Structure 1
Amino acid sequence: MTPLLYPALHASHAGIWIATPDGEARAVGRGEAIARAADTPMILLNAPLVAARLGYPELSGLDLLELFAFVHPARFAVPTPKGLARAIGLAPPADDAGAAAFLLCATETLLARMEVSDWHEREGAWTSAQSLGRLRWPWAASVNQRIAKPERQERWLFARLPEWEEKAPRSPPRTIHVPPAAAVDRLDELTGHGAEERPGQRAYAEAAAAAFGPRASPDSPAMLLAEAGTGIGKTLGYLAPASLWAREADGAVWVSTFTKALQRQLDREGEKLFPDPRTRRDKMVVRKGRENYLCLLNLEDALQGGFAGRAAILAQLVARWAAYSKDGDMVGGDLPGWLPTLFRRNGSTALTDRRGECVFAGCPHYRKCFIERAARASADAEIVVANHALVMVNAARGREAANRPTRLIFDEGHHLFEAADSMFSTALTGQEAIELRRWIAGPEGNSRGRRRGLAARLSDVASYDDEGGRAINAAAIAAQQLSSDGWLQRLAEGQPFGAIEALLAAVRGTVYARAASEDAGYGLETELVDPDGALVEAAGNAAAALDALHRPLVQLGRRLEAVLTDGPDWLDGQARARIEGAVMSLGWRTETIAGWIALLGRIGGPADPDFVDWLAVDRAEGREYDIGLHRHWLDPTRPLADLVLKPAHGVIVTSATLSNGDWGAAEARSGAHHLPRPPLRFEAPSPFDYAAQAEVLIVTDVKKGDIPSLAGAYASLIGAAGGGALGLFTAIRRLRAVHARIADRLARDGLPLYAQHVDPIDTGTLVDIFRDDPHASLLGTDALRDGVDVPGHSLRLAVMEGVPWSKPTVLHAARKLAQGGSAYEDRAVRARLAQAFGRLIRRADDRGVFVILSSAMPSRLLSAFPPGTPIRRVTLAEAQEHVRSRLSSVTLSGHARPEDVLTGDS
């Protein structure tokens, strides 16, 4: 076998090292590393991250992560030398200096893996390697040397995927009671004999049983609001009565989450509910929105030339993964989160159905579709794990009405309000309008891809039904008034085309005239009050244009329903399913357009007190990326209650921070106050000894807005803790500025620092890296404050740059005025503080310090922290000493595996 002739390059904030093919490694400067990388192909680990470390964005080479994804598709690995070593069974390098030589060893190990007889992912590898060779994948030559041509035809990808089967509709669940004692017995069965006695968990299971009895009257579900502190074990607490009811009633319980991390945890808990893997596959299903799953038709198009260059290589690696994936979930499933980020202009989003263009039964892969398989599996499952958005979409748009769940559990219930706020809002923006135009008109100009318009998707209907054909043509003509490619440039030049672009131009002018902002780089907004004549006129023209589009789409929907009723000869099962899908998609879009027309009718007319309307120009770092009008419910729990809660028979809303001592606010933010029957309440405080395990320090001498002082504070505190710090910011600019000042310094001390919005790595992978190394620290924003858990010693210090006040948006100001003024603001801040503090202590043996770098921290907000937690106002020097003394005894020998992640309030 030809030996490897490539050197290896490793770069971190601590330095840069190159190892020659014989394994000899030496430190080099940035200039030499860039020059060598430009001249010689090098083995790298996470090329985009190495490129960022070098400041050389054009860096390319042989990325070991791509090779790992080829050799072991659908297998987990933390994308660091240490994480890769664990994944392939090698000893990790002792430090950064040894990492370059390790990359050579890891390369040979992965290539050799393809030659062993028990390589489990061999099927399809040779075929895939040939395609990758034609695409000039850097690893192709080395891989093809190691894979022998199979003696028989390979069953690759589409041939490997199983087909789902149609089943008779499921009968409605039987009416039963779940006695509290039975729920506790089921809990004992799940936790196992000899498990630790957890009184709070048993009380939780007893309380949750109340949601699984028959409801008293229509629109009046049995509803439980349950606050269970960290460490109670609420997940099994509600799964015990839920699984008992599902089994006895032959029904499905939908468990809804806000984060993908909790979905992963619930999926693992399924091993306790259903120990047999085959039974678990049938009885417990994870559901997500369509846009999360690989679309096989999009993949086929990419493999057949729809993608070019590096994007085509990504498509081949995704195809390799798809043949071994559990469920085809590309976002939070078993596709490594780091894989798409390796491709700078990655096409992963084009491989999912993000535009709602599915042709359903008209697709040649319909019977193998991951999305359809998940939908059908959930129809027969006992436990369906979904997310808040999907539950609300299904309820609001009538999807899968025959299998509407009657029992709902909203975990991470403190996010229910914002999920409803997003779901039931309206946004008429340039980006939304251009997507609608593409869905109707299909490809225009020089656009490429599989995108097809209405005429192409419904050509058989047009040929059968003259009225339907005329409606399709009328819609295509009316869609020309929507924004199109290049609209932002035309608006900047003062040359809008069509009624919608003219409206957006008027919106832009009004926003820039009225909005006040100290920061010229980020978004602007203004209330929709007293619009000028130009905006009123543009709104009237846009409303007329949208009405001209709405009418033929509604007519087309009626004609399609008539076709289904008439049942012509050509309407076989596949055609019927495809038209039913088209009816559903049309219904969604006609509702959207109707909402836009209603919003435009508000301009120049009276305000609707139920809604908050505003105009916005969305910008990032000075660049405009969208413009539009926005409408949100002042109280989004009203449609939540009407469409989701009232049709259910039993509902549990639960979280570790559901009430924060204010049950009235909990009822208001969950929609319970809109129900005729008041909810039950349950509360179980955390069993942890916060007085001994945690401490809150409020630093009083870091000047607000002083970036050097802020950076120095973070560096000194992280150094005192020896890493293991989660730094939370309210502004991306400050995060980046602090990271730039301290990353190199900390790395030289053996304390790696990672950051959202800086490192070219997805957030989930950043958390995996942070969790895997107890000396690493991570800086981030809101996404790291909620829903992510790093149990054990990898997270022992949490630092907030200041009090997490709400951003002063138009929407926030309206709700603050309507819901109690400063009291409303204080509740929101306390909830953020409680969630942030909740990242720190996850287990009985955890120890940690929570630091707020703000002398202006009001005492009235300190009730956000658990009773008994020591709270001190100190100087930075005193805080540094507190951190060092409290955390110096923390043992760093044990830390959680990435796959053992829990969630924010489990």
Structure 2
Amino acid sequence: MIDPAALPALHASHGGIWLREADRTAAVAKGTAIARTAETPTLLLNAPLTGQRLGYPDLNGLDLLELWAFIHPARFLVPTPKGLAEALDLPRPASESDIPELLQAATAALLATLESSAWTEREGGWTAAQALHRLRWPWAPLLAGRIATPKEAERWLFSKLPEWEENPPRPAPRTVTLQPDAVVARLEQLTGAEAEARPGQRAYAAAAAEIFRPRAHRDQPNMLLAEAGTGIGKTLGYLAPASLWAGEAQGTVWISTYTKALQRQLDRESLRLFPDPAVAAKRVVVRKGRENYLCLLNLEDALQGGFAGRAAILAQLVARWAAFTKDGDMIGGDLPGWLPTLFRRNGSTALTDRRGECIYAGCPHYRKCFIERSARASADADIVIANHALVMINAARGRETGQAPQRIVFDEGHHLFDAADSTFSVALSGQEAIELRRWVMGPEGNARGRRRGLAARLSDLASYDEQGGEAIRAAAEAARALPADEWLKRIVADEPFGPVEQLLAAVRGTVYARAADTGEADAGYGLETELAEPDGALVEAAQEAARALDNLLRPLTHLGKRMEAVIEEAPDWLDGAARARVEGAIASLGWRRDLVTAWLALLARIGGPADPDFVDWLAVERIEGREFDIGIHRHWLDPTRPLAQAVLKPAQGVLITSATLKGGGDWDNAASRSGANHLPRGAEQFEANSPFDYPERSEVLIVTDIKRGDIAALSGAYARLIEAAGGGTLGLFTAIRRLRAVHARIADRLARAGLPLYAQHVDPMDTGTLIDIFRDDPRASLLGTDALRDGVDVPGHSLRLVVMEGVPWSKPTVLHAARKLAGGGSAYDDRLIRARMAQAFGRLIRRAEDRGSFVILSAAMPSRLLSAFPPGTPIRRLTLDEAIISVSGQSRAGHGSHAALGHQQFESGT
């Protein structure tokens, strides 16, 4: 067997490159490192990141993260040298030059696990190793001889996964009224007997309990808007009455979030409700959209030759994970977020159902399907943890009517407006239209994969019902009018084929003509223009496209009626499995009919009167000058109107809560952004201020001597501020281009000071992994965009400085301009900016002992926006040099209260 100590090991960061060979570690040049890895298998940690540091993105080697994913699937790991050392109980490296030796020691420890009787993930390991050996996985030779050949055939994935059981519908919840003393007792049970009493949390729990009262009025839920400052403890505050009501009423409470981070936090908190993990798994269920879960049929196709090369290796590692996962969630679940990124372009999206092509009971793995298991488990759960989009989509499309959410807690409620805006919008674009064509027609030409058209999915219906079969054929013929493969190339070459491609060509021409008038056509980013006063060519193209879409809608509508008739007739072949498949097809077909109907309504607008309830525009989507989509877009001017109609009014009780629910405004703003103003009786209100001592433990510094647009000065400011804080910095940008420019200028400088720097849109890792790394290393810093403004929860010394490149002004889009006009002009803008500033500031102080600085690099920060910060927070306008002094002092004061973290010890996360 190969001795891991004999393998060379390589580590590269912005601070240097180190190669260990023959028991000796030396600093080497990039060329030497690249050549050595090409000559012989070399130990690496995160090959894509190492390759980026070397300027050689195609770098390959023995990546320890891949080995970890094989040996410990579904087990958390911070993918850094420090994280690896701690996970394997090895000494942490004292300097970057010690990391190659750590990689050798970690390899030895991981390979030794394979021969240990304590290896809990042994099942299926031998079978997977044989498959990976055939795929020439670099690690396969080192596994040979270390995994004992099983005495009996292994129960592997598809035979090992448990089957879900069909349960009778759950009775309607009992009518109960929660007693205040019982709510307080449940809260004390969750917080613990020795927890410090928090009056704000008790008041919050009592207020939240009111949404569980019996509803008194039709179309009017018991609704509460609750702004609870950071530190109140609102999670346990609403879990206390929610869990109490679920137990007494035998009903389900839906808790909806906007970010995956809060979903994970709520899932962890569920162990307070049910300490036994097995019980918690049944009583608390996480629900997400179908596209988040592993599709077993897609995985089987990949394992049987549907994938090749590196993608096939990824499929084998995902199969290892699938045998041990809690719920099959590939996006934010227990699949390591860094795993798909190790395979670069060979991502994991093909292993999920992103096209809505599920064949339901026609699938051989239907009874083991992660998606179906989650849906059924949620019907009997006490608590369902979902997201805003799923709650709204289910309500809007009328799915799962038997378990429509009746008691809902919308946490991160300040995002409800944005979630509704996305859910209830419509876009007729090339990408959307070609997906519809593929859904109807299936594979064309030499297309590979499991994609199936209507004819394949409903073959038994077509053979049984002549009218249904004719409708399927008519739909397939009508779908030929939709864009086909390489549609964008044809449009750019002015050779569109078919009425919808001709419409998109006319849209593109109009956008470029009008954008050129404003001087925006050469900026390299997406272009858009208001759908107003269209020319004759666009109107004529819209009419032809509408006729083509109507020709498609008619057979789809007829097909839906025939399927419903078959359900009623119940022929002999319609057993339980076939019925489930037809019912699933009916739901999927209804979604597509609704989509085409919305497209027709949008096209009717072109050349006709404007609808004041909607904002319509034309767009060409581009990334750095490269076009990738063209379309017509429609959004509600006020998306909370359909939110109120589809979600709020049918519910019995709704709590909308956030630390920044009023968004820097008043309760009228909260009501207008949540849909409460569209309810007959509005909503009750509750407010609890944060218990944190912001005047003592935080400061807002507005730097006045950084010139707008000066990238060199901006970069220097970021570098000096991060150095002053000793890392622990979250840098927020409003433009990816500036983020990349700043990162490129300062990463090497900070690395030489022992301060690792990571960045969204630069480092080849998902956002969740970047946050995990940032949280784990007090000397690391992270640069990001809006996704980090309120999706980051990093308490303690790891985050002690937040730096914003400037005021987060709204992008001047057609949609924003319309809403600004309707919402009061500059006052509308100010409310949005204050909300964003408050959310960003909220990242800084997460616990009572936290301390830090919030820096804005903009002399143009208007004083009227400063009310976004907590009352009493010191706010100063000063020069960069003065800010450096203040940040340094704040960091030293914070370090004193976190001395146990060993701030001075090198803790590399590169």
Range into which the TM-score falls when normalised by the shorter chain: over 0.9
Matched ranges for 1:126-525 at <5 A: 126-515=126-515, 516-518=518-520, 520-525=523-528
Q: Deviations over 1:501-541 (max 9, x none)?
A: 11110000000000235462110000000001110011001
**Partners in 2 of 1:180 and 1:350 — Cα distance?**
50
Aligned ranges 1:15-26 → 2 under 5 Å: 15-20=16-21, 22-26=22-26
Q: Which residue is equivalent to 1:899?
A: none
| 1:753 to 2:757 alignment | yes
CA contact (8 A) 1:180 1:207 kept: no
Is 2:782 the partner of 1:765?
Answer: no
C-alpha deviation, 1:2, in angstroms: 3.1
Distance in 2 between residues matched to 1:714 and 1:383, nearest whole Å: 43
User: Which aligned pairs between 1:716-755 and structure 2 lie closer than 5 A?
Assistant: 716-755=720-759
- Is contact 1:180–1:205 with CA below 8 Å preserved after alignment? no
Cα deviations by residue, 1:686-713 (Å, 9 ceiling, x for unpaired): 0000011000000000000000000000
Contact 2:665 2:831 in 1 (8 A): no
> Take 2:194 and 2:309, find their aligned partners in 1: how far apart are those partners?
58
Greater shift after overlay, 443-452 or 37-46? 37-46
The answer for the alignment partner of 2:907 in structure 1 is none
How many Å separate the matches in 2 of 1:639 and 1:133?
A: 54
Q: Distance in 2 between matches of 1:693 and 1:871?
A: 13
For 2:70 and 2:399, locate their aligned partners in 1 and report how far apart those are by CA, in whole Å: 37
**In the alignment, which residue of structure 2 is the partner of 1:594?**
597
Q: Which residue of 2 aligns with 1:632?
A: 635
What pairs up with 1:490-889 in 2 under 5 angstroms?
A: 490-515=490-515, 516-518=518-520, 520-659=523-662, 660-889=664-893
Q: Amino acid of the residue matched to residue 65 of structure 2?
A: L
Which residue type is aligned with residue 51 of structure 1? G
Q: How far is the alpha carbon of 1:488 from its aligned partner?
A: 1.0
User: How many angstroms apart in 2 are the aligned matches of 1:739 and 1:399?
Assistant: 46
CA offsets 1:66-94 (integer angstroms, 9 cap, x no match): 00000000000011111111112211211
Compute the displacement of 1:443 (Å). 0.6
1:41 to partner: Cα distance: 2.1
Q: Which residue number in structure 2 is paired with residue 904 of structure 1?
A: none
What SS does the corresponding residue of 1:408 show, helix, strand or coil? strand
Alpha carbons 1:23, 1:104 under 8 Å: kept:
no
Shift in Å at residue 202 of structure 1? 0.2
Q: How many residues align?
A: 895
The whole-number CA distance in structure 2 between the counterparts of 1:368 and 1:629 is 40
Helix, strand or coil for the counterpart of 1:193?
coil
Name the CA distance, whole Å, in 1 between partners of 2:7 and 2:278: 45
* Residue of structure 1 in register with 2:37 after alignment: 37
Residues 765-803 of structure 1, C-alpha deviations (whole Å, 9 max, x = no match): 000011110000000000000122111000000000000
Asked whether the equivalents of residues 388 and 416 of structure 1 are also in contact (C-alpha less than 8 Å), the reply is: yes
Contact 2:76 2:336 in 1 (8 A): yes
Counterpart-to-counterpart distance in 2, 1:78 and 1:269 = 21
1:724 and 1:795 in contact (8 A); partners too: yes
Residues 557 and 824 of structure 1: is their aligned pair in 2 closer, same or farther, counting only changes over 3 Å?
Answer: same
State the shift of 1:152 in Å. Answer: 1.0
Shift, 1:32, TM fit? 1.3
**Contact 1:616/1:630, CA 8 A, preserved across alignment:** yes
Determine if the alignment matches structure 1 residue 10 to structure 2 residue 11. Answer: yes
Give a deviation string over 1:313-362, Cα, whole Å, max 9, x none.
00000000000000000000000000000001223001001100000001
How far has the Cα of 1:189 moved from its partner? Answer: 1.6
Distance across 2 between alignment mates of 1:384 and 1:758: 35
* Cα separation, 2, equivalents of 1:858 and 1:890: 29
Q: Which residue of 2 aligns with 1:902?
A: none
Q: Secondary structure of the residue that 2:720 maps to in structure 1? A: helix
User: Higher mean Cα deviation, 811-820 or 53-62?
Assistant: 53-62
Residues 248-292 of structure 1 deviation map (CA, whole Å, 9 limit, x = unaligned): 000000000000100111011111111122221111111100000
Give the direction of change, closer, same or farther, for the CA distance of 1:517–1:67 in structure 2 (3 Å limit): farther
Shift of 1:181: 3.0
Deviations 1:96-137 (A, max 9, x none): 111111111111111111001110000000000000000000
Q: Output the CA distance in 1 between the equivalents of 2:752 and 2:680.
A: 62
Instruction: Give, as a single letter, the amino acid of the residue that structure 2 aligns with 1:862.
Output: L
Supply the distance in 1 between the matched residues of 2:767 and 2:189 (Cα, whole angstroms). Answer: 36
Contact kept in structure 2, 1:70 and 1:320, CA below 8 Å: yes
Matched, 1:90 2:112: no
The whole-number CA distance in structure 1 between the counterparts of 2:254 and 2:436 is: 31
Stretch deviating more after TM superposition (153-162 or 558-567)? 153-162
C-alpha distance in structure 2 between counterparts of 1:889 and 1:207, whole Å: 37
Stretch deviating more after TM superposition (512-521 or 484-493) = 512-521
Native 8 Å contact 2:48 2:58 kept in 1: no
**In structure 1, how many angstroms separate the alpha carbons of the residues matched to 2:580 and 2:519?**
51
- Superposition TM-score, scaled by structure 1 size: 0.98
Does the 8 Å CA contact 1:128/1:320 hold for their aligned counterparts?
yes
Q: Distance in 1 between matches of 2:80 and 2:300?
A: 32
Q: Displacement of 1:40 after TM fit?
A: 2.1
- CA shift, 1:661, in A, is 4.1
| CA drift at 1:182 | 2.3
Supply the AA of the counterpart residue of 1:35. A
Other structure's SS at 2:18 match: strand
Residue 194 of structure 1 and its aligned partner are, at CA, apart by 1.9
After superposing the two structures, state which structure 1 stretch, 396-405 or 590-599, moved more. 396-405
Q: Shift of residue 217 of structure 1?
A: 1.6
Q: Where in structure 1 are there 5+ consecutive unaligned residues? A: 897-906
CA contact (8 A) 1:176 1:249 kept: yes
> Is the 1:792–1:895 Cα contact (8 Å) retained in structure 2?
no
Contact 2:341 2:347 in 1 (8 A): no
CA contact (8 A) 1:6 1:42 kept: yes
CA offset digits 1:648-691 (Å, max 9, x no partner): 00000000000134100100010000001121100000000001
Is this contact kept in 2: 1:772–1:895, CA < 8 A? no
Q: Which amino acid aligns with 1:708?
A: A
The answer to whether the Cα contact below 8 Å between 1:221 and 1:677 also exists between their aligned partners in 2 is no
The answer as to whether partners of 2:391 and 2:405 remain within 8 angstroms in 1 is no
Superposition deviation, residue 889 in structure 1: 2.8
Instruction: Normalising by structure 2, report the TM-score.
Output: 0.98
Shifted more, 133-142 versus 22-31: the winner is 22-31
Q: RMSD of the TM alignment (CA)?
A: 1.0
Deviations 1:211-236 (A, max 9, x none): 00111121110000000000000000
Q: What is the deviation of 1:452? A: 0.4
